[in-house]
Amino acid sequence: MMAAMQDMATPARAAANMETMAEVRIEGVSKSYTIGPIRELVLDQCSLTLAPGKLTVLIGPSGCGKSTLINILGGYERADDGSVTLDGQPISGPSSDRLVVFQETALFPWMTTYQNIVYGPLVQRQRDMKQVEVEAGRLLDKVGLKDFRDKYPSQLSGGMQRRAELARAMINNPRLMLLDEPFRGLDAMTRELMQEYFLRLYEDKRQTVLFVTSEIDEAIFLADTLVLMSNKPGRIIKSMEITLPRPRVASLLMSPEYLRYKDEALEILHEEAMKAFAGGSQAAADFVEAYDKRDA
């Protein structure tokens, strides 16, 4: 009964989302920071469109300005130059239209999983709580936490906490979902699981998403569009359409198409990493290493 209702609900939800899915345009965005006497250019003339309902993944070496761009889109920082619009409206400050999930985002420790998930709609008081309850149930199911609904964060594993955080963000139906390296620091197995859970949520909702990562497999596995950023100052060097079928399954990681995308992306990132490496950046070593291992 419940399953049948869910199946019927899916096309309706997708249709409802069509109207709310945002298009985001980033045009010629530059940003510098001044520390003491030194002015450092962080973002250099970045242009990029986030297509409505698509999952755009931004990848680039550490320190290239990815979080700075997320902060500008979140409305926490302002660009020095250029424009950032959501459906044609300039982004000028934080808003419930846009939701950011950081690596450091944490659940409220004094609330159960369920209470954490319904927290946003509860304080916003703009939705029918009966509907929110049903939605929370669906999300708990999607992220595999049905049996942990009444547990507190300290009773959940790190991966479970992250999944609950994703559900807590998604229930708000933001028009733009921003994720800044949300799975960084998780062990490899947990991380792969997280990617699959995240895709289940995304493929169900199809919100406009910008997902930032520095991990190439994660990037290609998730992306509709993969955007490569250069080493500092951050520039957009390439945008690749990833046409792997959805729903994405882990076995895709073995397909020739997948490997072709990975090769192409690593070729470019490697070049960038080598430049950074020559310039003394430690973080760039990860990319050099990833590239060198690709044929192994």
**Residues 6 or more apart from 251 whose CB is under 8 A from it?**
none
- Residue 186 near residue 160 (C-beta atoms within 8 A): no
Residue 42 or residue 222: which is nearer to ligand ADP going by CB? 42
- What's the closest the beta carbon of residue 290 comes to ligand ADP, in angstroms? 16
Distance CA(81)–CA(86), nearest Å, equals 17
Residue 120: contacted member of ligand ADP, Mg ion, none (CB under 5 to 8 Å, by partner type):
none
Distance CA(219)–CA(200), nearest Å, equals 16
Judged by the rule CB under 5 A, the positions of this chain that interact with Mg ion are 66-67
Judged by the rule CB under 6 A, the positions of this chain that interact with ligand ADP are 33, 35, 42, 60, 62-68
Residue 230: contacted member of Mg ion, ligand ADP, none (CB under 5 to 8 Å, by partner type):
none
Residue 6 or residue 32: which is nearer to ligand ADP going by CB? 32
Residue 181 or residue 204: which is nearer to Mg ion going by CB? 181
Residue 68: contacted member of Mg ion, ligand ADP, none (CB under 5 to 8 Å, by partner type):
ligand ADP
Residue 31 or residue 168: which is nearer to ligand ADP going by CB? 31
- Residue 26 near residue 48 (C-beta atoms within 8 A): yes
- Residue 95 near residue 76 (C-beta atoms within 8 A): no
Amino acid 68 reads T
Amino acid 44 reads D
Structure tokens at 20: 């709310």
- What's the closest the beta carbon of residue 223 comes to Mg ion, in angstroms? 18
- What's the closest the beta carbon of residue 122 comes to Mg ion, in angstroms? 30
